[in-house]
Amino acid sequence: MLGAVELRCGLLLGMMTMVGLNAQMVKAATGEGPGAAAIVVPAGAGAGGGDSWWRHAVLYEIYPRSFQDSNGDGIGDINGITSRLDYLKDLGIDAIWITPMYPSPGVDYGYDISDYTAIDPEYGTMADFDHMVAEAKARGIRVIMDYVINHTSDQNAWFKESRSSRDNPKRDWYVWRDGKIGEDGKLGPPNNWQSWFGHSAWTWDETTKQYYYHYFYVQQPDLNWKNPEVRKAMYGVLEFWMKHGVAGFRIDAVSRLFEDPEMRDDPYMPGYNAYGDRNIQHKYTDDLPEVHDVLREVRKVVDAFPGDPVLVTEADEPNIGELTKMYGVDGKNDEVQLPMDFQIADVNELSAVKFRKLFDEVEANTAKGQPEYFFSNHDQRRQWDRYGDGVHNDQIAKLMAALLLTTRGTPQMYYGEEIGMRTTDPARIEDVHDPIGKLGWPKEKGRDGERTPMQWDASVHAGFTTGKPWLPVPPSAATYNVQVESQNPDSIYSTYKRLLALRKSEPALRDGAYEAVNESDEHVFAYLRKSGDETLLVALNMSAAARTIAVKSAGREADVLYRSPLGKMGLKAETVSLGKIELEPFGFVVARVK
Closest CB 303 distance from ligand NOJ, rounded Å: 25
CB atoms within 10 A of CB 517: 18
Question: C-alpha distances in angstroms, 158 versus 116, 146, 224, 282?
Answer: 11, 19, 12, 27
Site for ligand NOJ in 406-445 (CB under 6 A): none
Which x/- pattern over 199-218 shows residues binding ligand NOJ (rule: CB under 6 A)? -----------------x--
346 part of the interface to ligand NOJ, by CB under 6 A = no
Alpha-carbon distance of 492 to 41, in angstroms, equals: 26
Residues numbered 369 to 398 that lie near ligand NOJ (CB under 6 A) are: 378-379
- Least gap, CB of 221 to ligand NOJ (angstroms): 12
- Per the residue annotation, which of 314, 317, 341, 417 is the catalytic one? 314
Tell me the backbone φ, ψ of residue 448, rounded to 5 degrees: -60, -35
Three-class SS of residue 186?
Answer: coil
The minimum distance between CB 241 and ligand NOJ, in angstroms, equals: 18
225 binds ligand NOJ (CB under 6 A): no
CB 70 within 8 A of CB 387: no
Q: Please report whether residue 316 would count as binding ligand NOJ according to CB under 6 A.
A: no
CB of 225 to ligand NOJ, least distance (A): 15
Provide long-range contacts, Cβ within 8 A and 24+ apart, for 262-265.
263/177, 263/190, 263/191, 264/191, 265/191, 265/192, 265/193
Task: Please identify which of the residues 120, 222, 252, 450 carries the catalytic annotation.
Answer: 252
Active site residue 330: no
Closest Cα partner for 310 from 37, 58, 39?
58
Q: How far is the CB of 372 from ligand NOJ (least distance, A)?
A: 15
Residue 101: what are its φ and ψ, rounded to 5°? Answer: -125, 15
Of all residues in the chain, what percent are helix, strand and coil, respectively (each to 5)?
A: 30, 20, 50
Report the 3 state secondary structure along 517-548.
ECCCCCCEEEEEEEECCEEEEEEEECCCCCEE
Smallest gap, in angstroms, from Cβ of residue 159 to ligand NOJ?
15
Residue with Cβ nearer ligand NOJ (86 or 379): 379
* Residue 111 binds ligand NOJ (CB under 6 A): yes
Kindly report the backbone phi and psi dihedral angles of residue 309, in degrees, each rounded to the nearest multiple of 5, phi listed first.
-60, 150
CA distance 456 to 86: 13
Nearest-angstrom CA–CA distance, 556 and 580: 10
**Residue 426 or 585: which CB sits closer to ligand NOJ?**
426
CB of 196 to ligand NOJ, least distance (A): 7
Q: Which residue is nearest to ligand NOJ (CB)?
A: 111
Nearer Cβ to ligand NOJ, position 82 or 343? 343
- Options 120, 314, 448, 506; binder of ligand NOJ; rule CB under 6 A: 314
Number of Cβ atoms within 10 Å of the Cβ of 467: 13
Check residue 252 for interaction with ligand NOJ (CB under 6 A).
yes
Closest to ligand NOJ by CB, 94 or 314: 314
- Count of chain residues binding ligand NOJ (CB under 6 A): 9
Task: Provide the pairing of β-strand 588-593 with 534-541.
Answer: antiparallel
Residues 58, 253, 419, 502: which binds ligand NOJ (CB under 6 A)?
Answer: 253
Nearer to ligand NOJ, 174 or 514 (CB): 174
* Active site annotation includes 260: no
Q: Which is nearer to ligand NOJ, 154 or 485 (CB)?
A: 154
90-109 binders of ligand NOJ (CB under 6 A):
108
Residues identified as active-site: 252, 314
**Footprint of ligand NOJ (CB under 6 A):** 108, 111, 148, 216, 252-253, 314, 378-379
